[in-house]
Amino acid sequence: MMLPQLLLVSGATLWGLGWLPLQFLSNQGLEGMPLVLLTYSLLSLIAVPVLWAQRQHWRAQYLHVVAMGLGGGWATAALITALADGHVVRVMLLFYLAPVWSVLGGWLLLGERMGGLRVLSLALAMVGIGMTLGISSDALRPLDGNDWLALSAGLAFSLNNLATRAADRVPLASKAVVSFVGSALLGGLVCSLLQQTPPPVTATIAWQVGLLALGWLVAMTAVQYGLTHLEAGRAALLVIFELIAAVLSSAWLGDQQIHSREWLGAALITGAALIAAWPERQVSLSPARSPLA
């Protein structure tokens, strides 16, 4: 059954196209952490009642829920903050080390099998990422603050993936919305620390942000369904479709030209995702090995 793979790829692709509405809102003075705070606070109006209504179902795995909220929330907050002020290529490259953390974490913490195909898909994905983003001597300089933010965002995203996979008793609806609360809380904390405030919200901006929030809700639900039904390592590689969508759409719709290395890198990443999605034998997950149990 390919439904989890298809939904995960679809949700990741929507994420990759997210720069379009973000760029549009940025032109109206709404960007960065204020945008995260505003949008995810709106989504939290949906998330909090859902979490409260399903609290009896996830109470036994509340640590998994906390990990998903903090992991998903920090992944969003840190990545947007790093992209706002850092070197985009370095930020994206460091963030997309997430498949490495998820594959290794799934192997070490969840007992997932790490066969030859999984190792091959991981290697192809990392080479494809390097070719797509372009690695030069500038990309190898020491890490700065934004680089550490991007690296921590990738780690947080991997934590979210692992917690989602381990949380077998948490309803899908709770998994889909808990990171909204985390993003709102962490976005508010960052705005408070940096003394950033959103611009005045007009009726036009309100419905535009509402539409953006709806798109993120659909994307997150699709991704969480995929993360729930796939191994952490395979899921992390499929999420790389976000990178393909972001790079190619920005090249087609922006001012950047698509070079041969972008096409080759995208082809390698796509091949890695297809290999990762290839059905393997049933993998047993031992609850005792869950890092959050």
Say how far apart CA 125 and CA 8 lie, in whole Å. 17
Asked if residues 12 and 240 have their Cβ atoms less than 8 Å apart, the reply is yes
Mean pLDDT, the chain, as a whole number? Answer: 78
Predicted confidence band of residue 292 (pLDDT cuts 50, 70, 90): very low
Alpha-carbon distances of 117 from 176, 264, 276, rounded to whole Å = 29, 20, 7
Residue 257, phi-psi category: left (phi > 0), alpha (psi -120 to 50), beta (remainder): beta
- Mean pLDDT over 108-127 rounds to 74
As given in the structure block, the two tokens for residue 42 are 């709106």
Asked if residues 39 and 152 have their Cβ atoms less than 8 Å apart, the reply is no
Say how far apart CA 74 and CA 157 lie, in whole Å. 8
Q: What is the pTM of this model?
A: 0.72
Q: pLDDT value at position 1?
A: 65
Give the structural domain span for 161.
3-289
- Residue 48: how many other CB atoms lie within 10 Å: 15
Q: pLDDT value at position 47?
A: 92
The number of domains in the chain is 1
Q: How much of the chain exceeds pLDDT 90, in percent?
A: 13
